[in-house]
Amino acid sequence: MELWSKLRSLDAYPKVNEDFYSRTLSGGLITIVSSLAILLLFFSEIRLYLYAATESKLTVDTSRGERLHINFDVTFPALPCSLVAIDTMDVSGEQHYDIRHDIMKKRIDHLGNVIESRKDGVGSPKIERPLQNHGGRLDHNEVYCGSCYGSEESDDQCCNSCEEVRDAYRKKGWALTNVESIDQCKREGFVQRLKDEQGEGCNIHGFVDVNKVAGNFHFAPGKSLDHAFNFLQDMLNFQPENYNISHKINKLSFGKEFPGVVNPLDGVEWKQEQTTGLTGMYQYFVKVVPTIYTDIRGRKIHSNQFSVTEHFREAIGLPRPPPGVYFFYEFSPIQVDFTEENTSLLHFLTNICAIVGGIFTVAGIIDSFVYHGHRAIKKKMEIGKFG
């Protein structure tokens, strides 16, 4: 009995007989408010416990020999697909022109509706300056006299069209079997395609795979087409000023998508207010930040984030800048690591106890202050000292 009596004396929570309780209206309101606060914070802790939080840290990027996967979706509302090529180059000297694989192009009308969708069709044709009958290529100030490919009847005979080449072959009794190898036929096919696409735009989407070193990729009239502009203007009334390189970047990312990534160029649109033709460079200077995202199961996503500044360089002075949309990228030496982490059960229970105990303690202090303050005011009123 003495042991039980000693244990009873250690009770830190002495009980008060219910007959001595004094329940008040203010106490009931404080109880309701404190209970609601406990429920609100309780469900907040439940949410934090069930959903992973993301921790970030900075480290030095030590990766070597990796490749960079660039995803893009760009719309040119006033530039036909036949006049667009995708080129890449980097500081290591690797260059790729008129890239066509892993790319989809869509011909669109002036309202943005898709006319035709074709895979692996982006890039300007391999068209050069016209071939002369003497075997060389047409110079800018030279009169065009096309080659008849051995079927000419005299040294000064010219075959300036595909039909004239066919006639010369027929007169010789030869069969024209490989039309694609005839310079005039190939050129007229390209011009016809330009006429068919007059007034159209182009949507290009896909990806390119490049070295993980500083470099650039750009959308521009193809390098092989540059040599043909003079011929197209002089002989076929081709007018580059009828086109412009206004564009909208629907999507641009470097690497795989991961939760929470923000690509600052998504949805960016740059309009050429006055049609001045294929002049000027739209330049985007991109700083790529290597990023590793580790989910709650330990799976890693190697990707990149980026920041960007933009600039338009007008075609003023000589030499004139090549027209197009250019993305110049370089890499940050700092890598960002994101890691998903769950709150431990012990930490969750500790927070719940702190919430319940803390709110009840604060509520008790407020209730005691209100109760004793009310009693003191009431007592002064009873003895006539208040008012």
Identify the weakest region by mean pLDDT among 83-92, 216-225, 229-238: 229-238
Please, what is the average pLDDT of the chain?
79
**Cβ atoms of 306 and 287 closer than 8 Å:** yes
Distance CA 191, CA 185 (A): 10
Summarised one tens digit per residue, pLDDT across range 305-329 is 999 999 988 767 666 677 889 999 9
Summarised one tens digit per residue, pLDDT across range 274-307 is 555 556 789 999 999 999 999 888 899 999 999 9
Summarised one tens digit per residue, pLDDT across range 44-90 is 888 877 777 788 899 999 888 889 999 999 999 888 887 788 889 99
Is pLDDT above 50 for 257?
yes
Is pLDDT above 60 for 354?
yes
Is pLDDT above 80 for 17?
no
Name residues whose C-beta falls within 8 Å of residue 355's C-beta, 6 or more positions apart in sequence. Answer: 38, 41, 42, 45
Quote the pLDDT of residue 234: 43
Higher pLDDT, 13 or 187: 187
Overall pTM surpassing 0.75 (yes/no): no
Distance CA 267, CA 245 (A): 16
Quote the pLDDT of residue 210: 92
Angle, CA of 110, 112 and 115, to the nearest 5°? 90
Quote the pLDDT of residue 113: 85
Summarised one tens digit per residue, pLDDT across range 343-352 is 777 888 888 8
- For the chain, the farthest-separated pair of C-alpha atoms sits apart, in whole angstroms, at 136
